[in-house]
Amino acid sequence: MELMRSWMFVPGHRQRMIDKGLAVNADAIMLDIEDGVAPDEKAAARKNIGEALGREKTPGAPARYVRINAIGHERMVADLEAVVRPGLEGLVCPKVDTVEEVRTVDAILNEREPKQDLARGSVKLLIAIESPKGLLNAPAIAAASPRVVGLMFGAEDFGREIGLPAVREGHARDLIYARSAVVVAAASAHVQAIDGVWVDLNDTLGLYGFAKQSRQLGFSGMSSIHPAQIDAINSTFSPTAEEIDYCQKVLQAFAAANARGDGSIAFGGQLIDRPIVERARRTVEMAKSLGMTH
């Protein structure tokens, strides 16, 4: 599974933003027909997004996902008719509470993909967990379909549902339990965990701090609302040169120990055994996939 660190929302009714979004250095863009688009602009958003998906994708351009309206709503039906077409790489499903909602979208895609000359199963799903009910069902939701590539935490809606004040404080410390639960649910199904947005565009230091905390909690990426946030997200969720070097040395030392018949070693003053070695291997593989090593 390809690691996608940065996911940027792009309002579907803003043609200029779509044009920019198709070329940003995010790993994925989420062309939006849901909360970022007023009801009377949704038809325009569907038309704009459908046309954008038809454009040729240049090498290195972000993956193209579309955030649809609520599953089961008549707007969702119109969304899927407009955007399930060649060029669509995935859907972002908002406010998912149950496994059945995921299976509803899965069944519609199974029907529509062949009609659009798309390979069966090619449209992936990023599932937004935005409510207490969704969080409690998150492990089952993450495993509900092979299409699911990740869970994304929707902090604003979740905070409203549990009664948090309108003004958020700090690095979402008030939501650490919920965010960690999303990470564990995603890991249990071997899919990505994507954290919510950092809403203060003027606080770059805060963005770096929040992204670092997200990575420490186990998230593998983060959503954003502006291109200026992407570099901070990409760098924070990528291994550093020092991490890569350390992990390569761990792998070399462990291979030498195995050749001697030893199952664990002392390296740099730390006991190194198989779980740590596997984490080091995963870091080196991530670095290779990002073109950071050979």
3-state secondary structure the chain: CCCCCEEEEEECCCHHHHHHHCCCCCCEEEEECCCCCCHHHHHHHHHHHHHHHCCCCCCCCCEEEEECCCCCCHHHHHHHHHHCCCCCCEEEECCCCCHHHHHHHHHHHHHHHHHCCCCCCCCEEEEEECCHHHHHCHHHHHCCCCCEEEEEECHHHHHHHCCCCCCCCCCCHHHHHHHHHHHHHHHHCCCEEEECCCCCCCCHHHHHHHHHHHHHHCCCEEEECCHHHHHHHHHHCCCCHHHHHHHHHHHHHHHHHHHHCCCCEEECCEEECHHHHHHHHHHHHHHHHCCCCC
Other beta carbons within 10 Å of 200: 11
pLDDT at 290: 76
Question: Model-level pTM?
Answer: 0.89
Which residues of the chain are modeled with pLDDT < 70?
1, 168-172, 263, 293-294
Q: Give residue 152's pLDDT.
A: 98
pLDDT at 50: 97
Spatial neighbors of 42 by CB under 8 A, at least 6 apart, are 13, 33, 69, 75, 78
Cβ neighbours around 267 below 10 Å, total: 17
Q: Residue 3: exposed, middle, or buried by beta-carbon count in 10 A (0-12, 13-18, 19+)?
A: middle
Q: Residue with structure tokens 């009910």?
A: 133
Q: Long-range contact list for 16-21, CB < 8 A, 24+ apart?
A: 18/48, 18/49, 18/52, 20/227, 21/62
How high is the pLDDT of residue 169?
Answer: 64
pLDDT for position 246: 83
| Separation CA 17–CA 185 (nearest Å) | 33
Name residue, tokens 């199963």: 121
The pLDDT, as a whole number, for residue 170 is 63
Token duo for residue 285? 């593989």
pLDDT of residue 294: 55
pLDDT given for residue 258 in this prediction: 77
- Contact yes or no for 66/33 (Cβ under 8 A): yes
- What is the predicted pLDDT for the residue at 212? 95
Say how far apart CA 235 and CA 243 lie, in whole Å. Answer: 13
CA distance 179 to 194: 9
